Chain A
Amino acid sequence: MIVEIGHFALILALVVAFAQGTVPLIGAHRGDALWMAAARPAALTQAVLVAMAFGALMHAYVTSDFSVLNVINNSHSTKPLIYKISGVWGNHEGSMLLWVLILAVFGAAVAVFGRHLPPGLSARALSVQALIAFGFLLFILFTSNPFERVALAPADGRDLNPLLQDPGLAFHPPFLYLGYVGFSVAFSFAIAALLEGRVDAAWARWVRPWTLAAWTFLTAGIGLGSWWAYYELGWGGWWYWDPVENASFMPWLAGTALLHSAVVVEKRDTLKGWTIFLAIVAFSLSLLGTFLVRSGVLTSVHAFAVDPARGVFILVLLLVAIGGSFALFAWRGPALMPGGLFRPVSREGALLLNNLLLATATAVILLGTLYPLFIDAVGGAKVSVGPPFFDSVFVPLMVPLVAALAVGPLLPWKRGDLAGALGRLKLAFVLAAAAVVGIWFVFDRGSVLAVLGLGLAAWLAVGVVVEIAGRIHLLGIAPVASLRRLLGLPRAAWGMTLAHFGLAVLVAGVTASSAWKVEKIQTMRPGDTVEVAGYTYRFEGARDVQGPNYAATRGRFTVTRDGEPFVVLEPEKRLYPVQQMPTTEAAIRSTFLGDLYAVIGDAEGNEGGFVTRLYFNPLVPWIWAGILLMVAGGVASLSDRRHRVGAPGRRPLTTEAASAKA
Chain B
Amino acid sequence: MTLWIAVGGLIALTLAVMLMALLRARPPAVARGDYDLAIYRSQLDEVERDVERGILAPDLAEAARLEIKRRMLAAAGGTDLQTAAPPAVAPAWCSAILVLVVVLVPVASIGLYLMLGSPTMPDQPLASRSVATQTAGREQAEMERLTARLAQQMENQPDRVDGWLLLGRSLRTLENYDEASRAFERALALTGRAPDVLSEYGEILVLAHGGRVAESAKQIFEETLRAAPAEPRSRYYLGLAKAQKGDPRAALQDWVDLIAVSPPDAPWLTDIRREIRGVATAAGIDAGTLAPSAGLSAPPSAPPPGPSAEDAKAAAEMTAAEREAMIRGMVEGLAERLKDEPDDADGWRRLARAYEVLGESEKAKGALAQAEAAEKKAKP
B378 close to A (CB within 8 Å): no
Closest B residue to A486 by beta carbon equals B55
* Interfacial chain B residues near A577, Cβ < 8 Å: 176
Stretch at the interface among B109-117, B161-169, B307-315: B109-117
A64 close to B (CB within 8 Å): yes
Could you say which of B18, B30, B127 contacts A38, with CB atoms under 8 Å apart? Answer: B18
Contact indicator B35/A1 (Cβ below 8 Å) = no
- Name which of A9, A32, A577, A647 has the most chain B CB atoms within 10 A of its CB: A32
CB distance from A417 to the nearest CB of B (A): 13
Could you say which of B82, B105, B119 contacts A120, with CB atoms under 8 Å apart? Answer: B82
B21 close to A (CB within 8 Å): yes
CB distance from A547 to the nearest CB of B (A): 18
A258 to B282, CA, bound (A): 42
Contact indicator A650/B34 (Cβ below 8 Å) = yes
Closest B residue to A197 by beta carbon equals B81
Could you say which of A44, A200, A472 contacts B17, with CB atoms under 8 Å apart? Answer: A44
* Interfacial chain B residues near A472, Cβ < 8 Å: 55
CB distance from B181 to the nearest CB of A (A): 10
Given A41-B17, A120-B32, A580–B208 Cβ distance below 8 Å?
yes
Mask for B18-56, Cβ within 8 A of A = 1, else 0? 101110111110101011111111101010001001110
* Interfacial chain B residues near A450, Cβ < 8 Å: none
Contact indicator A60/B123 (Cβ below 8 Å) = yes
Could you say which of A18, A49, A268 contacts B10, with CB atoms under 8 Å apart? Answer: A49
Chain A contact residue count (CB 8 A cutoff): 92
Contact indicator A661/B73 (Cβ below 8 Å) = yes
Contact indicator B112/A11 (Cβ below 8 Å) = yes
Contact indicator A3/B14 (Cβ below 8 Å) = no
* Interfacial chain B residues near A11, Cβ < 8 Å: 109, 112-113, 116-117
CB distance from A378 to the nearest CB of B (A): 12
B178 close to A (CB within 8 Å): yes
Residues in A30-47 with C-beta less than 8 Å from chain B: 30-38, 40-42, 44-45
Closest A residue to B93 by beta carbon equals A32
- DSSP class of B's interface residues: helix, strand, loop or mixed? helix
Closest A residue to B44 by beta carbon equals A656
A593 to B10, CA, bound (A): 58
* Interfacial chain A residues near B42, Cβ < 8 Å: 642, 646
Given A653-B72, A659-B69, A5–B3 Cβ distance below 8 Å?
yes
Contact indicator A201/B36 (Cβ below 8 Å) = yes
* Interfacial chain A residues near B282, Cβ < 8 Å: 305, 308
Contact indicator A117/B30 (Cβ below 8 Å) = no
Given A33-B25, A41-B21, A141-B116, A645–B126 Cβ distance below 8 Å?
no
A7 to B121, CA, bound (A): 12
Contact indicator A41/B123 (Cβ below 8 Å) = no
Contact indicator A38/B21 (Cβ below 8 Å) = yes
A548 to B326, CA, bound (A): 34
B189 close to A (CB within 8 Å): no
A269 to B166, CA, bound (A): 78
A642 to B70, CA, bound (A): 21
- Name which of B41, B125, B244 has the most chain A CB atoms within 10 A of its CB: B125
Contact indicator B17/A23 (Cβ below 8 Å) = no
A509 to B25, CA, bound (A): 56
B359 close to A (CB within 8 Å): no
* Interfacial chain A residues near B246, Cβ < 8 Å: 300, 302
B101 close to A (CB within 8 Å): yes
Could you say which of A145, A155, A651 contacts B136, with CB atoms under 8 Å apart? Answer: A155
* Interfacial chain B residues near A67, Cβ < 8 Å: 121, 123-124
* Interfacial chain A residues near B101, Cβ < 8 Å: 19, 23, 38
Contact indicator B87/A32 (Cβ below 8 Å) = yes
CB distance from A108 to the nearest CB of B (A): 12
Contact indicator B14/A45 (Cβ below 8 Å) = yes
A490 to B43, CA, bound (A): 13
A650 to B18, CA, bound (A): 30
Contact indicator A2/B123 (Cβ below 8 Å) = yes
Given A32-B93, A38-B97, A41-B18, A660–B73 Cβ distance below 8 Å?
yes
* Interfacial chain B residues near A119, Cβ < 8 Å: 28
Given A118-B35, A141-B116, A155–B137 Cβ distance below 8 Å?
yes
Given A65-B126, A149-B118, A305-B282, A646–B38 Cβ distance below 8 Å?
yes
Contact indicator A471/B55 (Cβ below 8 Å) = yes
Given A488-B53, A648-B38, A8–B105 Cβ distance below 8 Å?
no
CB distance from B311 to the nearest CB of A (A): 24
Given A200-B36, A269-B71, A34–B93 Cβ distance below 8 Å?
yes
* Interfacial chain A residues near B75, Cβ < 8 Å: 201
A659 to B41, CA, bound (A): 14
Given A49-B14, A485-B53, A645-B39, A653–B123 Cβ distance below 8 Å?
no
Could you say which of B35, B100, B119, B137 contacts A117, with CB atoms under 8 Å apart? Answer: B35
* Interfacial chain A residues near B38, Cβ < 8 Å: 116, 202, 645-649
* Interfacial chain A residues near B44, Cβ < 8 Å: 656
Q: Report A's interface with B, CB cutoff 8 A.
A: 1-5, 7-9, 11-12, 14-16, 18-19, 23, 30-38, 40-42, 44-45, 49, 52, 60, 63-67, 77, 116-120, 141-142, 145, 147, 149, 152-156, 200-202, 205, 268-269, 300, 302, 305, 308, 340, 412-414, 471-473, 485, 488-490, 493, 577, 580, 642, 645-651, 653, 656-657, 659-661
Sampled A-B contacts (27; CB under 8 Å):
A1-B3, A3-B123, A5-B7, A16-B14, A19-B18, A19-B101, A19-B104, A33-B27, A37-B22, A45-B18, A64-B125, A65-B123, A118-B82, A145-B116, A147-B116, A149-B121, A156-B137, A201-B36, A202-B36, A202-B38, A414-B63, A488-B53, A580-B178, A648-B38, A649-B30, A651-B37, A661-B73
Not counting A4-B117, A11-B116, a sample of 4 additional A-B residue pairs whose C-beta atoms are within 8 angstroms of each other reads: A34-B93, A205-B39, A642-B46, A651-B37
